[in-house]
Amino acid sequence: MAFYNRAFYEKKHFLEPCDNKHFNEVLPPYSTVDCTGIYRCEACGFEIFIRPPQTLPIEAHCDRHAEFGRWAPEDRTGDVRWRLVVTLKNRVWR
């Protein structure tokens, strides 16, 4: 059975849609992020909170998550790439 990580929220009035370009960027491992927020791995669905000037995790992170039963290795789809899924409203966009 596949396990897909998703960001959860309880009160939807705390979130609002945004069409900023940062949400459309798909970043490779080792990229330095420009925005504080939750980034999702496009290969395994794992999500992390990260802020500038931190860099995104390496490819091996998927294997470590599989060890803990967070997802099955056969469910991995493609190369590790990261996408911003949630950011803070009070941050200045670069």
What are the pLDDT digits (tens) for 43-79?
777 888 999 999 998 876 666 665 555 555 555 566 7
Question: Would you say 43 and 76 are in contact if contact means Cβ atoms under 8 Å apart?
Answer: yes
Number of domains in the chain: 1
- Does some domain include residue 42? yes
Q: Identify the band that residue 2 occupies on the pLDDT scale cut at 50, 70 and 90.
A: very low
Tell me the pTM. Answer: 0.76
Q: 56: closest CA among 25, 90, 94?
A: 25
- Does some domain include residue 19? no
Residue 84, pLDDT above cutoff 90: yes
- Does some domain include residue 79? yes
Write out the residue range of the structural domain in which residue 46 sits. 29-87
The count of other CB atoms within 10 Å of the CB of residue 67 is 8
- Does some domain include residue 1? no
- Does some domain include residue 24? no
